[in-house]
Chains A and B, each alone.
Chain A
Amino acid sequence: DTEVTQTPKHLVMGMTNKKSLKCEQHMGHRAMYWYKQKAKKPPELMFVYSYEKLSINESVPSRFSPECPNSSLLNLHLHALQPEDSALYLCASSQEPNTNTEAFFGQGTRLTVV
């Protein structure tokens, strides 16, 4: 099983809303990631969690707040977003941090901010 599951698949939210994106993997991977992908662009790294601890924040605005409750789950809490934050948000996981093993991606959450 090489599956990373993301919910919801689609999300529309207003600029004053609070919402959360969820990601789950059961491969025993100890590194988990959030990426943001705009149309016709490659994914851009937002956050990296290693062994449930935040290890990399790529200068992401504080209106995005990640959380890793346990080794299988990764959340992205959203608050006071802007229309330009509309994008595909991808979760990924890999076996170990600090290695060059492959990352497995979820199907993404298509976020629209209105």
Chain B
Amino acid sequence: GDSVTQMEGPVTLSEEAFLTINCTYTATGYPSLFWYVQYPGEGLQLLLKATKADDKGSNKGFEATYRKETTSFHLEKGSVQVSDSAVYFCALRNSGGYQKVTFGTGTKLQVIP
């Protein structure tokens, strides 16, 4: 079945540092890929998405590129802020009969001033 693997956390960075959170996936067919963010005590917010190979999703300074050859969708940001502290989930959704969103285990990011 479909699966998503993302790097273990927590990740602790100083403000203005460069962020990479690795994500790889296993799926049949042509899934869409997503990054969701969850701030403490809140629900999930869609951060960015990519629907086909070589698409780049971007939002709020975050970027991720859909790499079919390496089955990866790594999240990057050039300069993190304290307000970016949250848990980040990589996820996929496949077309076809089974409709669920498959999540990675989540990576907690802590940004210190």
Contacts and interface: CB of A to CB of B under 8 A. Distances in A.
Give the interface residue-count category, chain A. 20 to 34
A55 B46 contact: no
Contacts of A42: 89, 103-106
A102 B105 contact: no
Q: Is the interface of B mostly helix, strand, loop or mixed?
A: loop
A90 to B, nearest CB: 6
B32 A102 contact: yes
A41 B103 CA distance: 10
A90 B43 contact: yes
B30 A100 contact: yes
A105 B37 CA distance: 11
A31 B105 contact: no
A65 to B, nearest CB: 20
Interface of B: 30-32, 34, 36, 41-46, 49, 51, 89, 93-101, 103-106
